[in-house]
Amino acid sequence: MNKINANTLERACMNAEIITIGTELLLGQIVDTNAAWLAQRLAALGVNLYYKTTVGDNRERIANAIRLAMQRADVVLTTGGLGPTVDDMTREAIADATGRLLVRDPELVAHITALFRRWGREPSANNLRQADVPEGAQVLPNPIGTAPGLLVEHDGRYVIAMPGVPREMKRMMDEQVAPFLRRLVGEDVVIKIRVLHTVGVGESLIDEQIADLEEGANPTVGLAAHSGQVDVRITARAPNEKQADVMIAQVERVIRKRLGDAIYGADDETLEGVVAQALARFGRGVVIESNTRGEIAARLRAVAPEVVQAAEVVQPEAVSCAEAERWAQDAREAHGAAWALVVLGTAGANEGLYGEQRGETVVALALGEQVHCKALGLGGADEHSLSWVRNRALDVVRRTLLMASP
Amino acid sequence: MNKINANTLERACMNAEIITIGTELLLGQIVDTNAAWLAQRLAALGVNLYYKTTVGDNRERIANAIRLAMQRADVVLTTGGLGPTVDDMTREAIADATGRLLVRDPELVAHITALFRRWGREPSANNLRQADVPEGAQVLPNPIGTAPGLLVEHDGRYVIAMPGVPREMKRMMDEQVAPFLRRLVGEDVVIKIRVLHTVGVGESLIDEQIADLEEGANPTVGLAAHSGQVDVRITARAPNEKQADVMIAQVERVIRKRLGDAIYGADDETLEGVVAQALARFGRGVVIESNTRGEIAARLRAVAPEVVQAAEVVQPEAVSCAEAERWAQDAREAHGAAWALVVLGTAGANEGLYGEQRGETVVALALGEQVHCKALGLGGADEHSLSWVRNRALDVVRRTLLMASP
């Protein structure tokens, strides 16, 4: 099936670059989802990606980008610019960048002509441009489109051109390009990623705890912060998945020891998922909230619809633990529920993370006869501050439940 | 308010480059929406964007990307890498790329310290890294985050660093960077974009009709194809919006003359919106469909909920105009409706755009006593072929209604 032939160069460490081509990308009319998808595939193949570039439909600039990428990388993957129209310039640019002529491929002419005849038409002169290939290029068949892909070997590097239509690109990558790259890297490298999710501890504090690990080369450790949550990403390169898992597990053990309860989950786990699961062990319950506008209940219901038996948004007269604890106990009893969560907060326009005042939110959880409460020292009405408040309120529930047993 | 000072160089034609920084972008863990947003803003400012690049959290590679961009562009905009953690390297990389030292800015130290004290904490050593700036850089205040932006003038070029958090970046761009760029370009350039939507005509046929226009420099004309629809994008650069509108109108007039009825709308108009509006002039009606799985009715209802009074998905015994016309007349009468649309098609697994057979779909529209029908010569069960079928079926309705009067 697979038509790509290659000298099997075993490169212990192969670098790729992605070039996405299309003026609509530079005008911001579409978001470059192809690049993110390809980046994931390259990581899974164990191919390093250090740069990706976007250029418009301009022959000279596409050629420049390809020339530069060939200086830095073993493999250059392009998407887009292979269509039949005059602004589709990738074929010409690859020919320019590799010092080749464009020649018309008779097999491709026959293929395109047959396709059009089945549609009851003859291909136009422009359609036949899709049969032009840089001299010596291998053609990558496109079973679900008219734009064939191209593979050019040049000075020991490879330029691989794929269509810009996501479904055509993805299929060509999975069926033809990925197997080629796998042979090129010697089928013996994988990159695995594990993400640990923390909440309630600042990015810079986490950074201080694990700064030494962030300077490691393999696995690498990196941080990303989102509204009171910080993700710790561990990326390992190894000859196979098992070894990558062992390397990740070693680093993960160190990180877990240092960050302890701040870590609430990993990979696809979410804060609301973890909290909903912990609450469900006690039974169904009630959520009452004010400044968080019903979104704590909504997040819990989105992952576990049965766990919240009733939810209410209220306007409290006072924001205090005494008030919240009383509401929580009353609500739990009134609904005959296993638990009741009450989140009451101030929502002043000048309050919040970057407001003049901090504001205040209290989180009370009634669990059976017991009731726990914590003040967060943060309120506000802007979406960013509220996103923090919601995450930290869920974290209060999580940490309270860590101590309790059903 | 605005702290950026600049020599007002009036550049008739200013080029910018965007560098988005973050290993998570190269691992494909997040899609680069910042780049698309910034690209739109630059277009609106009349600033050309020829390249955008993504690099990971690596000091040397960020510095390389900045150096290269400074060779090609007047202004280099970066996002990301300004946080407090050891993998936030943009400050260092800008210093490297412009041959400067990093110095700690006392005003920023005071600002960060005050912020942390309001949060009841002292800044850590890492937090204070956010007060380091390349010598001579201007600081761009960040009112909603701890990461300040930076502006460095170097050899007549500008490097402007903004945070990677989208809300912080967008506010800094709109409040500080965009006004600076506007002064730099002399406030006398805008780029305006108009998109004409066509349906029912192939991309290469449209390309042949307007190839000469696609080679123009200003306005530029480009094409983008989506499942039987082709968008024609006209982009004009002019000293002001009014002149840009005039330039666009001139080219639009030529395109409309050549493409005629194939153009169904412009900019935010959608095919279902145009069709729903045309149907509504006759009254409410009924949609019956088979292979298109209820999605034609759903698309019409999404834009005009009142126009479809009843909808049904059926399994026809035969796919023919005779059958579809009969169903359409019966359904219109049975519901006492103004019109009835019936779309019946084959849905074989080996049928479709790139299947062994083409398959068949017929589209019948009963309008009062009259009934019209057209066979599309395309069926299938894969989503791509169905997407074409739905667009072309709506186009049959559109073209039929162009001839009819209510």
Q: Please give the pLDDT value at position B303.
A: 92
Q: Which two tokens stand for residue A159?
A: 């330029």
Would you call A31 and B36 a contact, using CB atoms and an 8 Å cutoff? yes
How far, in Å, CA of A32 to CA of A54, rounded?
A: 9
Nearest to B358 among A50, A55, A118 (CB): A118
Q: How wide is the angle at C-alpha B259 spanned by C-alphas B256 and B265, nearest 5°? A: 60
How far, in Å, CA of A26 to CA of A292, rounded?
A: 38
Mutate to test the interface with A, among B26, B58, B111 (most CBs of A within 10 A): B26
Nearest to A87 among B85, B127, B223 (CB): B223
Would you call A49 and B40 a contact, using CB atoms and an 8 Å cutoff? no
Nearest to A27 among B26, B193, B215 (CB): B193
pLDDT at position A93 over 70: yes
Peptide bond into A316 cis (omega under 30): no
Residue B187 pLDDT class (50, 70, 90 cuts): low
Would you call A193 and B27 a contact, using CB atoms and an 8 Å cutoff? yes
Please give, rounded to a whole number of angstroms, the shortest distance from the CA of A332 to a CA of chain B: 33
Complete domains list, chain A, with CATH: 15-184 (3.40.980.10), 190-266 (3.30.70.2860), 271-403 (3.90.950.20)
Which of A189-193, B11-15, B399-403 is least confident?
B11-15
- Mean pLDDT value across chain B: 91
How far, in Å, CA of B282 to CA of B320, rounded?
A: 26
pLDDT above 70 as % of chain B: 97
pLDDT at position A5 over 80: no
Mutate to test the interface with A, among B68, B76, B87, B356 (most CBs of A within 10 A): B87
Nearest to residue A308, comparing CAs of A316, A299, A317?
Answer: A299
Cβ neighbours of residue A326 closer than 8 Å, sequence gap 6 or more: none
Look at phi and psi of residue B259 and say left if phi exceeds 0, alpha if psi is from -120 to 50, else beta: alpha
Which of A3-12, A85-94, A183-192, A324-333 is least confident?
A3-12
Cα-based distances in Å from B138 to B47, B135, B141: 22, 9, 10
pLDDT at position A4 over 50: no
How far, in Å, CA of B180 to CA of B195, rounded?
A: 29
Cβ neighbours of residue B330 closer than 8 Å, sequence gap 6 or more: none
**pLDDT tens digits, one per residue of B266-294:** 999 999 999 999 999 999 999 999 999 89
Q: What is the DSSP letter of B265?
A: E
**pLDDT tens digits, one per residue of A24-52:** 899 888 888 999 999 999 988 888 899 99
Q: What is the CA radius of gyration of chain B?
A: 28
How far, in Å, CA of B164 to CA of B150, rounded?
A: 13
Residue of B nearest to A81 (CA): B224
Would you call A29 and B61 a contact, using CB atoms and an 8 Å cutoff? no
Q: Rounded to an integer, what is the distance from CA B362 to the centroid of its chain?
A: 33
Instruction: Tell me if A43 sits within 8 A of A18, measured CB to CB.
Output: no
Residues of B in contact with A24 (CB under 8 A): 222, 224, 233
Q: Please give the pLDDT value at position A187.
A: 64
Cβ neighbours of residue B338 closer than 8 Å, sequence gap 6 or more: B282, B283, B284, B285, B332, B367, B368
Residues of B in contact with A384 (CB under 8 A): 144, 167
Helix/strand/coil (H/E/C) assignment for every residue in chain A = CCCCCCCCCCCCCCEEEEEEECHHHHCCCCCCHHHHHHHHHHHHHCCEEEEEEEECCCHHHHHHHHHHHHHHCCEEEEECCCCCCCCCCHHHHHHHHCCCCEEECHHHHHHHHHHHHHCCCCCCHHHHHCCEEECCCEEECCCCCCCCEEEEEECCEEEEEECCCHHHHHHHHHHHHHHHHHHHCCCCCEEEEEEEEEECCCHHHHHHHHHHHHCCCCCEEEEEEECCEEEEEEEEEECCHHHHHHHHHHHHHHHHHHHHHHEEEECCCCHHHHHHHHHHCCCCEEEEECCCCCHHHHHHHHHCCCCEEEEEECCCCCCCHHHHHHHHHHHHHHCCCCEEEEEEECCCCCECCCCCECCCEEEEEEECCEEEEEECCCCCCCHHHHHHHHHHHHHHHHHHHHHCCC
Residues of B in contact with A58 (CB under 8 A): 50
Residue A61 pLDDT class (50, 70, 90 cuts): very high
Ranges of beta strands (E only) in B156-245 are 157-162, 190-199, 220-226, 229-238
**Number of Cα atoms under 13 Å in the Cβ half of residue A236:** 18
Instruction: Tell me if A340 sits within 8 A of A328, measured CB to CB.
Output: yes
pLDDT at position B175 over 70: yes
pLDDT at position B349 over 80: yes
In three-state secondary structure terms, B212 is: helix
Mean pLDDT comparison of A24-28, A240-244, B195-199, highest-scoring range = B195-199
Q: Where are the alpha helices (DSSP H) in B89-195?
A: 90-97, 106-118, 125-128, 166-172, 178-184
Number of other residues whose CB lies within 10 A of the CB of residue B54: 29
Nearest to A203 among B22, B51, B84 (CB): B84
Q: Where are the alpha helices (DSSP H) in B218-267?
A: 241-259
State the Cα torsion A65-A66-A68-A71 to the nearest 10°.
Answer: 170
Which of A160-174, B11-25, B309-323 is least confident?
B11-25
Would you call B235 and A145 a contact, using CB atoms and an 8 Å cutoff? no
Beta-bridge partner residues of B198: B230, B263
In three-state secondary structure terms, B77 is: strand
Q: Please give the pLDDT value at position A175.
A: 93
**Burial of A122 (C-beta count, 10 Å sphere; 0-12/13-18/19+):** exposed
**Which ipTM did the prediction report?**
0.75
Q: Using CA of residue B205, residue B209, residue B211, residue B217, what is the dihedral sign?
A: negative
Q: Which two tokens stand for residue A125?
A: 């002169």
Q: Please give the pLDDT value at position A185.
A: 81
Bigger pLDDT: B113 vs B355 = B113
Q: Using CA of residue B303, residue B308, residue B313, residue B316, what is the dihedral sign?
A: negative
Please give, rounded to a whole number of angstroms, the shortest distance from the CA of B94 to a CA of chain A: 17
Q: What is the CA radius of gyration of chain A?
A: 28
Residues of B in contact with A360 (CB under 8 A): none
Residue of A nearest to B87 (CA): A222
Q: Using CA of residue B288, residue B292, residue B297, residue B298, what is the dihedral sign?
A: positive
Per-residue burial over B304-337, b if 16 or more Cβ lie within 10 Å, else e, is: beebbeebeeeebeebbbebbbebbbebbeeeeb
Beta-bridge partner residues of B373: B364
pLDDT at position B1 over 70: no
Q: What is the DSSP letter of B137?
A: P
**pLDDT tens digits, one per residue of B104-115:** 999 999 999 988
Cα-based distances in Å from B379 to A306, A382, B320: 42, 50, 13
The helix (H) or strand (E) run that includes residue B333 is helix B321-334
Q: What is the DSSP letter of B85?
A: S
Q: Please give the pLDDT value at position A400.
A: 94
- Mean pLDDT value across chain A: 90
Would you call B223 and A85 a contact, using CB atoms and an 8 Å cutoff? yes
Beta B149-154 vs B138-140: how paired, if at all?
A: antiparallel
Residues of B in contact with A50 (CB under 8 A): 26, 55-56, 58, 61
pLDDT at position A259 over 80: yes
Average pLDDT over residues B137-146: 91
The helix (H) or strand (E) run that includes residue B141 is none
pLDDT at position B311 over 80: yes
pLDDT at position B7 over 60: no
Average pLDDT over residues B76-98: 94
Angle between helices B271-280 and B383-403 (to 10 degrees): 40
**Burial of A114 (C-beta count, 10 Å sphere; 0-12/13-18/19+):** exposed
Beta-bridge partner residues of A198: A230, A263
Residues of B in contact with A377 (CB under 8 A): 120
pLDDT at position A188 over 80: no
Q: Which two tokens stand for residue B294?
A: 């209820």
The helix (H) or strand (E) run that includes residue B349 is none
Nearest to residue B263, comparing CAs of B338, B183, B200, B316?
Answer: B200
Nearest to residue B72, comparing CAs of B57, B58, B51?
Answer: B51
